[in-house]
């Protein structure tokens, strides 16, 4: 069975940034990704830039999947965005609750991703393939693992078609998560999210913010390299490539790469694991 890969971008702020991103997706096009996803800023702060980036990718003859967040949104604004994407030929949406930006107090008309998914299904039927988020190491706001699984199952029951997970570096966390939700009757594809490593300090900041675990052995290993950027990059490539191999061997249906709008690392990982 062919394993599917996808790549995630954030919307550029400038024309120069868009041109750089164009070169990135052109470099990754040869890997035959199922789609490129484009993130949506907290509280809808990048709404227009997300739309424009998605349209640019679609015009290139490629498949783009916008992230859509319900935090800070109204039914009317979401309905308009859905119509914009449907008119542009977009057939896949990553449906998320989203984060509240700093100082933002109004959550909007929806509070949970499951409500957003129900709304999309009500408005558009089965037109869109809906992707939702999964958290192998438990969502940082969840009270417990059980609570997190319950919330996840609600999203699937609301009409999700597939899942991409938060990134992680512990294969067992993914396997256990899949086993847990399969036992709850969830049988849609669960695609691991993969974060390449070129700057470990940046990964530490990301992980502290999103609740992804960095195992102690991993932190110690990167500490050994101190300020040797090339050794960090080389070891990061080895570590993440091995992670990807083990995930695919364990039955993962594909891989979703968080690219940070860069192509070299993800392209090299794909080459090493044989999906290039």
CA of 187: how far to CAs of 13, 147, 161, 176, 183, in Å?
Answer: 38, 19, 10, 14, 9
d(CA 10, CA 46): 9
User: Which 3 state secondary structure label does DSSP give 169?
Assistant: coil
Concatenated DSSP letters of 196-242: --S-HHHHHHHHHHHT----HHHHHHHHTTTT-HHHHHHHHHHHHHH
Active site residue 8: yes
C-alpha closest to that of 134 among 154, 111, 108, 118: 154
Please check whether residue 69 is in contact with residue 98, taking contact to mean a CB–CB distance below 8 angstroms.
Answer: yes
Q: How far apart are the first and last CA of the chain?
A: 15
d(CA 136, CA 120): 25
| Helices of type H across the chain | 15-29, 47-59, 75-87, 113-124, 145-159, 171-182, 200-210, 216-223, 229-249, 264-273
Indicate which residue of 8, 26, 29, 137 is catalytic.
8
Please check whether residue 163 is in contact with residue 132, taking contact to mean a CB–CB distance below 8 angstroms.
Answer: yes
Report the catalytic residues: 8
């Amino acid at each position: 069975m062919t394993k599917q890969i996808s790549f995630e971008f954030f919307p550029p702020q400038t024309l120069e940034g868009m041109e750089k991103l164009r070169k990135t997706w052109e470099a990754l096009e040869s890997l035959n990704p199922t789609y490129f996803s484009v993130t949506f800023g907290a509280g809808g702060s990048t709404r227009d830039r997300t739309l424009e980036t998605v349209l640019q990718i679609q015009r290139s003859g490629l498949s783009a999947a916008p992230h859509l967040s319900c935090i800070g949104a109204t039914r009317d604004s979401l309905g308009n965005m859905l119509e914009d994407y449907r008119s542009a030929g977009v057939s896949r949406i990553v449906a998320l609750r989203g984060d509240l930006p700093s100082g933002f107090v109004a959550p909007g008309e929806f509070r949970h991703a499951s409500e957003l998914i129900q709304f999309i299904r009500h408005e558009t039927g089965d037109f869109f393939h809906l992707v939702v988020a999964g958290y192998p190491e438990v969502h940082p706001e969840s009270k417990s693992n059980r609570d997190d699984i319950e919330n996840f199952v609600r999203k699937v029951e609301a009409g999700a078609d597939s899942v991409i997970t938060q990134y992680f570096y512990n294969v067992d966390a993914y396997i256990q998560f899949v086993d847990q939700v399969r036992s709850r009757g969830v049988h849609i594809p669960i695609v691991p999210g993969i974060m390449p490593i070129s700057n470990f300090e940046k990964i530490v900041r990301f992980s502290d913010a999103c609740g992804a675990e960095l195992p102690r052995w991993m932190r110690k290993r990167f500490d050994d390299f101190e300020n040797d950027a090339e050794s960090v990059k080389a070891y990061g490539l080895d570590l993440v490539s091995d992670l990807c191999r083990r995930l695919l061997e364990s039955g993962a249906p594909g891989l979703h790469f968080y690219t940070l709008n860069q192509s070299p690392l993800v392209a090299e990982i794909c080459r090493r694991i044989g999906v290039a």
